[in-house]
Amino acid sequence: MDSERELVPAIVMGLRKGMQLCHGMRRQLTEDEQFKVGRQIAAQLKLSNYEIEHGPPALPHGTGWPARGSN
C-alpha cells in the first residue's frame, strides 16, 4: 500500500509531537519503536476501513515555509 508509506511517517510525526507533551516520553521510545507504533496504527486504521487521502498540508510546517497569508 503506497499510501501507507506516506501515512506511517505522518503518524510518527504526530506521535513525536504528542510525546513532547509528556516530559521525557520521547526518549523512552527508539526511532524504530516509534515507526513500529506508526505502522501498527496505520494497520489498525486500514482494518477499521478508514480511508485517508494525502493532500497539501493544511498549514505550512517545517522550516523555510512562509506563514499563510504572508507574501
State the residue for C-alpha cell 512562509.
66
Task: Establish how many alpha carbons lie within 13 A of residue 45's alpha carbon, considering only the half-sphere containing its beta carbon.
Answer: 16
Instruction: Report which DSSP code applies to 67.
Output: P
Residue 13 lies in a domain: yes
Residue 55 lies in a domain: no
Residue 68 lies in a domain: no
Domain count of the fold of the chain: 1
Residue 58 lies in a domain: no
Residue 10 lies in a domain: yes
pLDDT of amino acid 61: 59
Mean pLDDT by 10 residues, the chain (71 residues): 77 82 71 89 87 75 55 49
Q: Which domain holds residue 43?
A: 2-47
Residue 61 lies in a domain: no
Rg (Cα) of the chain, in Å, rounded?
14
